[in-house]
Amino acid sequence: MASPIRSHPEPAPALIDPAGLDAAFSSLADLLNQAPGAPAVVRHALEVVREAEAMLAAQRQRIAHLEHLSATDDLTGLGNRRGFLDHLRRHLAAAKRHGETGVLALCDLDHLKQVNDRHGHPAGDAVLRQFAEALRRNVRETDVVARLGGDEFAILLTRCRIAGGMTRIETLAALAEAQALVWRGTPIPLRVSVGAVSYDAGATPDALIAAADARLYECKAARRDQRSSRPG
């Protein structure tokens, strides 16, 4: 099971000024040049080196933390659009080298605007978090889920047969829809529109996303037609 969502990650500490590293190494050079071989000087020089190494390690850790935040959706804890597109480009390049196939799906939560209008934005946020958690719990570690923005999510099923991947996407949507949110005593049903496409070793990110988006539009149009054809 995936790690718990952090809706509000702690702010990253300020980066270390690189000038501090330059000063540390400058002090080391001065000491060694002035009195090479002197035991006290050498010991102090080693302390300076250790301090510089610690500063570099802290700098790398903080940069990695900032990079993680820049690729994470704050509300759901999933990857955001930027992080997902970066991952998709890298994955498709690797899939091309190894001849792998998989499935990309774009998902929209239907009627989220009505939820916000009727119950308030906190209820809409709760719906988004619940859907994100349903996806997170039911995908493999090798798969990728992200919130692209608003009510749109992406699911990348990697290293899977196309038929099996399409079935899993349908199962994920059904599992999410089966978990109605109860907001202040009122059930809020969840409806998901999905556009899924398979990819092979020759797929490109732009073409794949465009194809999935077209399928998503077809799904939403079909649902509208179904509603309009129902007897009044």
Per the CB < 8 A criterion, the answer to whether 77 and 6 are in contact is yes
DSSP line for 6-59: -SSPPPPPPPPPHHHHHHHHHHHHHHHHHSTT-HHHHHHHHHHHHHHHHHHHHH
Catalytic residue among 73, 108, 110, 151: 151
SS3 assignment, position 93: helix
What's the CA gap between 106 and 158, in Å, rounded? 15
Pairing relation of β-strands 192-199 and 102-109? antiparallel
Active site residue 108: no
Tell me which residues are annotated as active site.
151
